[in-house]
Structure 1
């Protein structure tokens, strides 16, 4: 293991804590402005913050030259967030995150060349299967939520791929700020169609700012730093801690409880993430 990666791993865990806390708060906003409106407002405020801080127009030539990567990165963020919130509206936070995680987990699996990586990924796969109660499969509404989660996971994998390629060619700050603007524009029609009459109250703006800071500004800044410095396998497997963090956030903020078996599955995910961290391949 490279000890220089330890700060990145700590930052990545902080990112997970931040984004899942924000997701817990966001779920309470769904009943007021809907999933689409919550997604749009979160990305709208984040795009303003990043634009003011990073001033992306200073590197317009590089942005235009690499427009495909940035468009892919931004659309992936927008679609990932919208589909995740649609899943979260139907399913418990921990379950939604577990299903969504299949995306980066699959990416880690396909990117791996070492046997030990397959071991950690296999443990996480089994644990995620245990986490998802079979009774969810007997209701049509829950199945729709599962498909939303799988779709979000697909775009999460694309977010990692486009983010890694883009950071190799462009300044991280410009990628992030333009990417969030594109994500906001992607979510804009969905939000306006469903919630435009309810978006301008002070209460909505207050909660949207909190959600945006915790679920977008902090975690995406951290992840963009880590995504280009950690191997895809390591990054993908470490994010398997997301369901664990989601379970804690769901318990604290939403009073969502898990069974003993599900708790054991979460513990197995923690062990796999620790194992992945300790066996990072030295370059």
Structure 2
């Protein structure tokens, strides 16, 4: 009796699938934003994500020490604020432009972390790409949307630094089962009043769908990819995410970029790939507390496994 051999999906395929899932979630969130607002969408998406993670993982509460409390709370709050700002931005400016602006946060962290002054050229190159994307010389730039995306970029930078701190103690689903509920509570402060009176079964089902697309599915795919490739290779591949934002914005939201904007997104992607060099780090603790799964490789890519939850 012959057994059928399973053809494994290459790790780069898993990472690409994760990026597509993230950007699909963002694109599909636009309709949800029209119903319950960006903060309401963030609250619903994070709440659904929290429920899913709590269902599949027991939070390692007994392993939480006093020094862990502030980083865990900080990571949850940063995730909630970052998600609200990102969704507020895509309500006003194209998805690809929002992702590119937000990408400035991890690029800056990567440049600073490399301890090489020349690495600061990569955020500068990405900033030049963002200028081409926003085309301010046309006088039609949405300053508020750009500001929201810039705040999300700062939040992503904080997210990376706090993820490093939390990741030295907790891994994978265990960490998410602690921080995503905090993010949901943070988003609830603004999201509940914004969504009040607009909730329906259709809205809740839509929120569940975008929550599965982000953060649940990408986390699983990225975890599988990181087990089979180096963090530098993973981070370099993830630098394509702004390009996927443009692609999904075109296919789902019919946001047609100009030739100049294509050049701009290319600069952002090149800057993101180049910033991976020298971006690895060593953990401060060799024995993190695990969740359901074994620990992931500790060296984090310069752009971090994920942006907004």
**TM range, smaller chain:** 0.7 to 0.9
TM-score by length of 1: 0.83
What is the aligned partner in structure 1 of residue 95 from structure 2?
Answer: 93
Cα offsets for 1:41-81 (capped at 9, x unmatched): 1011100100010111xx21222431111111111110100
What is the aligned partner in structure 1 of residue 185 from structure 2?
Answer: 185
Q: Is the 8 A contact 1:240 1:273 kept in 2?
A: yes
Distance 1:74 1:106 in 2: 21
Q: Is the 8 A contact 1:124 1:240 kept in 2?
A: no
What is the aligned partner in structure 1 of residue 291 from structure 2?
Answer: none
1:32-111 aligned at under 5 Å gives the runs: 32-56=35-59, 59-65=60-66, 66-111=68-113
Q: Is the 8 A contact 2:86 2:98 kept in 1?
A: yes
What is the aligned partner in structure 2 of residue 261 from structure 1?
Answer: 260
CA gap 1:10/1:124 in 2 versus in 1, 3 angstroms: farther
1:127 counterpart SS class: helix
Q: Is the 8 A contact 1:16 1:219 kept in 2?
A: yes
Structure 1 gaps, min length 5: 1-5
CA gap 1:75/1:221 in 2 versus in 1, 3 angstroms: farther
1:112 aligns with 2:114: yes
Q: Which deviates the most, 113-122 or 164-173? A: 113-122
Q: Which deviates the most, 121-130 or 68-77? A: 121-130
Q: Is the 8 A contact 2:128 2:267 kept in 1?
A: no
CA gap 1:176/1:246 in 2 versus in 1, 3 angstroms: same
1:163 aligns with 2:163: yes
Deviation, 1:94, is 1.1
What is the aligned partner in structure 2 of residue 203 from structure 1?
Answer: 202
CA gap 1:72/1:222 in 2 versus in 1, 3 angstroms: farther
Q: Is the 8 A contact 2:111 2:122 kept in 1?
A: no
1:245 aligns with 2:240: no
CA gap 1:126/1:88 in 2 versus in 1, 3 angstroms: same
Q: Is the 8 A contact 1:120 1:272 kept in 2?
A: yes
Distance 1:264 1:275 in 2: 17
Deviation, 1:146, is 1.2
CA gap 1:223/1:190 in 2 versus in 1, 3 angstroms: farther
CA gap 1:147/1:267 in 2 versus in 1, 3 angstroms: closer
Q: Is the 8 A contact 2:15 2:234 kept in 1?
A: no
What is the aligned partner in structure 1 of residue 31 from structure 2?
Answer: 28
Greater share of helix residues, 1 or 2?
A: 1
TM-score by length of 2: 0.77
What is the aligned partner in structure 1 of residue 5 from structure 2?
Answer: none
2:136 to 129, 134, 137: 134
1:255 counterpart SS class: coil
CA gap 1:82/1:220 in 2 versus in 1, 3 angstroms: farther
Q: Is the 8 A contact 2:231 2:280 kept in 1?
A: no
